[in-house]
Structure 1
């Protein structure tokens, strides 16, 4: 048995996940009533949701507590890249939606039950501010990442004057939680098997047939962001071929995030990637958890594409200034997606309100989003998470270039 486990662990995680996917598809078609198999997926997702908030809290708090005065930091550059990348993603979605306008049969999509959409940008900002001052323990329990991040920063700064033993303890706790997440992710092949089984046994292989064009537009825009926009942003910073770094981040971070569908749970993967790239731990130990909260290019694409699909379905004319406003609104909303229950999909009505679309129609678009969410959410998370590592590396490599240091990729 030990030999079998060693052999299994020697295979790369991506290959093991692909095996789990194939087995899940086969079982979903051959034995759709064996619902107990789906329990594997529920357990996997439940474990990720449980440990991810704790991970973000201790990583950020521990990193800030151990930061010494006078140490050089490039957090300003990283945050700027996060915001620029998210806005550019929204612009790509606007352009894509105008070049390939998609209409949707809204009558076939049920509104999301129990979902409450924000009524305006003021409500989104109010929700964000209230989440910032939420009880820190409650924030961890409710997976309120905005609140978790805010309190982690506050406690981290307050603990800078703590003793070395206290800081060492925080470091040990951070390492322990990170290891726990790695153990959970190692069970990804079995969790993916259960998730794929549930999707196939419930909906069949034709799950995306009705919304294929919309899904294709979403994935196309995300691909343009990943393979065109992000490389351009990286090139402007490092002034050399960006694709080796882009592909490395997509391979080592994006693929894992695609299957785990959680940017927060993918933090240890990104941290390890940054370590392998030789980046400064003082920087990436803060920028990676921060990116998992505010770097939401994939979410900006989702909000924009689905909102404009509703616009085209209703035959509403959109001018260029309004499209630009939509891009800004989508970018700002996407950065706060983790502060709104339901994530990016429930911010679609907010974007639709720009065009006078009723909340009832907008919520039907939310329903469409949930239908195609199995693929849409996976790709969105893969793009978001891989970009966290990509922009963190780009910001530091920019400094290396100025210092004349050789870049590793």
Structure 2
């Protein structure tokens, strides 16, 4: 038993997920009945995600706002503006790519009637009513917009609370994160069941749709890393941005690709900032801040997967609603840090704009975990390397 445990701990989550996908395909290819039989593992995994997601969003956002340090805002304004602008442009790029290369998914139970919004007015009305929903009801029903609104309000209210109260929220946030970490460790088993069920019921057509989805996601991230970010750096510094961009991708993006954690990559980014001889007073604040709110990759993930769901259900989307989705995805992305797969858990919030039920949205989250072997690694690499890119741009502009 001890040997098995040690071996499993050395066998990282990404290889386990790959093994789960392979085993699911192999089992369903050998016997469709066997594939259907293990579908319960996927259903339980989706159910666990659905149960933990609302409280996760509420506690993490409230704790983050309540424990944010006061002061030093003036020094961080240029970096903060780049963070927010880059995240919004990433969401906008994802919207454009989703319309140029529409993707549909294979979902179970999508025959239910979904009433599409009639336009931006109805969407805004729906959002406003979700915002003022009873907080307990929002948690129970998975109303993520309401959960986010109440979490922000509570966090602002506790911003000037005493240290003990703030520490309680920080400790609860840590506890919830540990619980989510445990659930994420079950992803290989859940994905094994989901893939087996998909292959058993639809053949390889379902997996083929994931390939197109992954292509759109990674394509958007490459466009941001190699075109949009360099453009923002050039506007800030009036210098050739590519030496800086490639340096950050090589020395920050590659480690982040394998660690799949912006928080874990903070020491790497600090060391790189020192190597680039940036202002310590700036990067000592901007790098940890970037690991929290600079989430271009997360904005892409939320937007692309949400619009893939919209296309699958045949819901029409006008330009104004697409712009609103970009704003919502940007805001969601800023709250996606701290937990592996955090951006995926905020997809139901964006799906709520289009009246998509939580059951359907959580199936999309599960699909996100299937492609997360590449998606989450690329997302983290983009997010983390961009922290140093934008910090360096501001420091070089000041020099």
Q: TM (normalized to structure 2)?
A: 0.69
Alignment-derived partner of residue 52 in structure 1: 53
Report the Cα distance in structure 1 between the residues aligned to 2:149 and 2:177, rounded to whole angstroms.
20
How is 1:301-320 mapped onto 2 (pairs within 5 angstroms)? 302=308
Question: Superposition RMSD on alpha carbons, in Å?
Answer: 4.5
How is 1:77-156 mapped onto 2 (pairs within 5 angstroms)? 77-95=82-100, 112-156=111-155
Unaligned runs of 5+ in 1: 105-109, 254-268, 312-324, 350-366
Report the Cα distance in structure 2 between the residues aligned to 1:373 and 1:329, rounded to whole angstroms.
22
How is 1:29-44 mapped onto 2 (pairs within 5 angstroms)? 29-34=29-34, 35-44=36-45
Distance 1:340 1:310, change over 3 A: closer
Alignment-derived partner of residue 182 in structure 1: 181
Do the aligned partners of 2:302 and 2:350 also contact (CA within 8 Å) in 1?
A: no
How is 1:293-372 mapped onto 2 (pairs within 5 angstroms)? 296-299=302-305, 302=308, 329-333=321-325, 335-336=327-328, 344=351, 347=354
1:287 has 2:293 as partner = yes
Match of 2:245 among 241, 246, 256: 241
Do the aligned partners of 2:262 and 2:384 also contact (CA within 8 Å) in 1?
A: no
Match of 2:221 among 223, 226, 230: 226
1:192 has 2:184 as partner = no
How is 1:16-31 mapped onto 2 (pairs within 5 angstroms)? 16-31=16-31
Task: State how many pairs are aligned.
Answer: 345
CA shift, 1:119, in A, is: 1.5
CA shift, 1:381, in A, is: 11
Distance 1:301 1:111, change over 3 A: closer
Alignment-derived partner of residue 278 in structure 2: none
Report the Cα distance in structure 1 between the residues aligned to 2:54 and 2:363, rounded to whole angstroms.
26
**Which deviations, in whole Å up to 9, do the C-alpha atoms of 1:330-357 show, x marking residues without a partner?**
24235447899795598499xxxxxxxx
Distance 1:386 1:217, change over 3 A: closer
Do the aligned partners of 1:64 and 1:286 also contact (CA within 8 Å) in 2?
A: no
Q: TM (normalized to structure 1)?
A: 0.68
1:403 has 2:398 as partner = no
Report the Cα distance in structure 1 between the residues aligned to 2:362 and 2:177, rounded to whole angstroms.
30
**Which deviations, in whole Å up to 9, do the C-alpha atoms of 1:352-399 show, x marking residues without a partner?**
xxxxxxxxxxxxxxx9x9999986896599759964773475256423
Report the Cα distance in structure 2 between the residues aligned to 1:300 and 1:340, rounded to whole angstroms.
6
Match of 1:394 among 377, 386, 391: 386
CA shift, 1:172, in A, is: 0.8
Alignment-derived partner of residue 357 in structure 1: none
Alignment-derived partner of residue 62 in structure 1: 63
Distance 1:128 1:382, change over 3 A: farther
Report the Cα distance in structure 2 between the residues aligned to 1:55 and 1:10, rounded to whole angstroms.
28
Alignment-derived partner of residue 10 in structure 2: 10
For residue 149 of structure 2, give the secondary structure of its aligned residue in structure 1.
Answer: helix
CA shift, 1:304, in A, is: 9.1
